[in-house]
Amino acid sequence: MYAMAPPDDVLWARSLHCSLGGTEALSGVSVGVREGEILAVTGPRGSGKTTLLRCLSGELAAQQGEVWFNSSPVHTLPPARRDRLRRERFGWIGPEAGLVPELTAWENTALPLLLRGVPRRAAKTAAGEWLDRLDIGTCARVRPHALTRSQRQRTAIARALAAAPAVLFADEPTAALHRADGAQVLRTLTAAARSHGITVLLATLDDEVAALADRTVTLRDGRRTGGTPPATGAEGVAACSLSV
Ligand SMILES: Nc1ncnc2c1ncn2[C@@H]1O[C@H](COP(=O)(O)OP(=O)(O)OP(=O)(O)O)[C@@H](O)[C@H]1O
């Protein structure tokens, strides 16, 4: 049915072009992400990191190029199917927590599970375990307005991890936290992802953050500019030559 079989990366994109409001945010980016890998996406402000994560997660449709998840095309899915894929298989953490103000920390954490039909008791138990792991178990019954910024961000991370995503997109997840606090939260996030086999795409401006990843790709003006090479040559030129 398709002219090509992409390599066995969990997520794979070829030649993404994406314009936003007249700006070419991505100008032909190709990238492959292996299962369980933590991949840092670095580059200066405005280089296209957020746009790349949004395209890979299917939230944003690139004008040109392909995105594949587990060897199935995402770029050809109708919007409703892409939304479902994002809800069921992907997680997103942004620089701000984005919690529901009326709900307590555990209710916020459990929300994706409850929306999926997980029984309330099981969802509450899972949420409580993740809040404990993020060192905010004692805040479970507190609403966002009474939490510190750090506690809110930890709740957002617990919410993303509790849903057991295949791929977690983390866009500057600790940018709003104090340095030591951010570093600790990030170590917890990466340790949890590694122990649960969750693939992570981590957009960051911070080299210390990128150092926690297995590999780095770097963007500048919507293009890749190097980064550390993959352990096996599954992506890039070799893969593209198979795909025409
Ligand atoms: N909604 C939008 N409308 C217009 N231009 C946009 C929009 N979103 C992003 N851009 C532009 O696209 C380019 C890439 O932005 P993007 O947010 O992906 O970069 P980034 O590397 O994530 O930056 P930052 O580190 O500041 O988050 C920038 O020039 C930006 O101004």
Structure confidence by residue, pLDDT tens digits, 154-165: 999 999 999 999
Q: What is the pLDDT of residue 233?
A: 40
Q: To test the ligand 1 pocket, which listed residue (27, 29, 45, 221) has its Cβ within 8 A of the most ligand atoms? A: 45
Q: To test the ligand 1 pocket, which listed residue (23, 26, 206, 217) has its Cβ within 8 A of the most ligand atoms? A: 23
Domain that holds residue 119: 11-242
Which residue puts its alpha carbon closest to atom 25 of ligand 1? Answer: 45
Q: What is the pLDDT of residue 234?
A: 40
176 in a domain, yes or no?
yes
pLDDT above 90 (res 239): no
pLDDT above 50 (res 231): no
3 in a domain, yes or no?
no
5 in a domain, yes or no?
no
Give me the number of domains the chain comprises: 1
pLDDT above 80 (res 6): no
218 lines ligand 1 (CB under 6 A): no
What ipTM did this prediction achieve? 0.93
Q: What is the pLDDT of residue 107?
A: 97
145 lines ligand 1 (CB under 6 A): no
Residue 80: give its domain's CATH number. 3.40.50.300
23 lines ligand 1 (CB under 6 A): yes
Lowest pLDDT segment from 16-20, 37-41, 227-231: 227-231
50 lines ligand 1 (CB under 6 A): yes
Strands, sheet with 64-69, edge to edge from the N-terminal-most edge strand: 23-33, 11-20, 64-69, 72-73
- Give per-residue pLDDT as tens, 164-195: 999 999 999 998 889 899 999 999 999 999 99
Q: What is the mean pLDDT of the chain?
A: 89
Mean pLDDT within 126-155: 96
93 in a domain, yes or no?
yes
Query: Contact at 8 Å (CB) between 93 and 165?
Result: no
Atom of ligand 1 nearest to the CA of 222: 14
pLDDT band at 136 (very low <50, low <70, confident <90, very high): very high
1 in a domain, yes or no?
no
4 in a domain, yes or no?
no
Q: What is the pLDDT of residue 227?
A: 58
pLDDT above 80 (res 240): no
pLDDT band at 54 (very low <50, low <70, confident <90, very high): very high
68 in a domain, yes or no?
yes
